[in-house]
Amino acid sequence: MNRLLLAGWTLFILLSVCTESFSGMVVSQTVAFHFQPHPDMSRFLDMDFTELAIPEAFIQKIGHAFSFFVLTYLLWKQRGSIRSAAAGSFAFAFFTEVLQLFFSRNGCIRDVLIDAVGIGLFYGLYVLAKRRKQEMYEKY
């Protein structure tokens, strides 16, 4: 079951990043792809955070972090190692942002960092829960 959930979530992320318009996919349920074989790779280095002042963009970036929070959880359940799950999620975040450049989307290092926030949140919660569990065992 975990493998199926992981495969489905990974496919959802890939579909979301490759479709021409994520909002078009969600609002009008339209999925369209436009492959660009020679993207401007310099766009990947974009670190402009001013876009986050736009409420819709900010909500979409929360979705980025949430997606990779869930992916890290699913990878952890599959692999059993939090470090392996976090590393795999981060590698996938990097891959998806580069992939977006080939589908006329705005893939950039800024979004990798936003994805890493979700990965880091899960990692941090995992560490806190593990410490709490250890403290409980030591207490009793």
- Structural domain for 21, as ranges: 2-33+57-139
Does 43 fall in a domain?
Answer: no
Where do runs of H (alpha helix) occur along the chain? 2-18, 22-27, 55-79, 82-101, 109-139
For residue 67, give the nearest of 79, 75, 77 by alpha carbon: 75
Tell me what pLDDT residue 113 has: 96
Does 28 fall in a domain?
Answer: yes
Task: Render pLDDT for 103-136 as a digit per residue (tens, 0 to 9).
Answer: 988 899 999 999 999 999 999 999 999 998 887 7
Task: Render pLDDT for 28-75 as a digit per residue (tens, 0 to 9).
Answer: 788 888 899 999 999 999 888 898 899 988 998 999 999 999 999 999
Does 49 fall in a domain?
Answer: no
Which residue has 């996919």 as its token pair? 25
Does 121 fall in a domain?
Answer: yes
Domains: count for the chain: 1
Does 51 fall in a domain?
Answer: no
